[in-house]
Amino acid sequence: MHNKRVLPATAFTLCCFAVSIGYCGSDAPKLGTAYPAAAISEQKLAQLTAGVSTKAQVQSLLGAPWRTVQYNDLDEVENEIWEYRGTDANGNYRIHIEFDHHDIVQIVGKIPDITPGGNGTSAKAAPNK
């Protein structure tokens, strides 16, 4: 009698676990492999100005982000980050764009997936007010 209740619950748990593993691994590209994303030109990135550009302008220029992350404090909504993926002659990279709580760009950075010495590139940050 006990096995009749445990078996379906165990099967359901295993299915949920398998689905979650497949979902988590599907949105992150493997390092060193091609990512099916177009290059984001330096001219487009140059149109983004930290402290001035808005979320609407970023979405109009670059389209929907590959991934969004929102950091919240206990009391209020904090910064939101949009990331884009791309591939160019130097390999795969990530465009990292941080917004403040007014939806204004604060940081724009292009980060290569693989670099000699493991260093990324400098980010453009909004001036301190």
AA identity, residue 67:
R
pLDDT score for 57: 97
The mean pLDDT values, 10 residues at a time, for the chain of 129 residues are: 50 43 42 57 92 96 92 73 91 92 93 72 70
What integer pLDDT is reported at residue 50 of this predicted model? 95
* The pLDDT of residue 101: 86
Q: How many CB atoms lie under 10 A from the CB of residue 108? A: 20
- Look up the domain containing 77 and give its range: 2-125
The residues, ordered by sequence, that sit 6+ positions from 56 with a Cβ below 8 Å of its Cβ are 103
SS3 readout for 27-62? CCCCCCCCCCCCCCCHHHHHCCCCCCCEHHHHHHHH
Distance CA 29, CA 93 (A): 10
pLDDT of amino acid 17: 41
Query: How many domains, in total, are found in the chain?
Result: 1
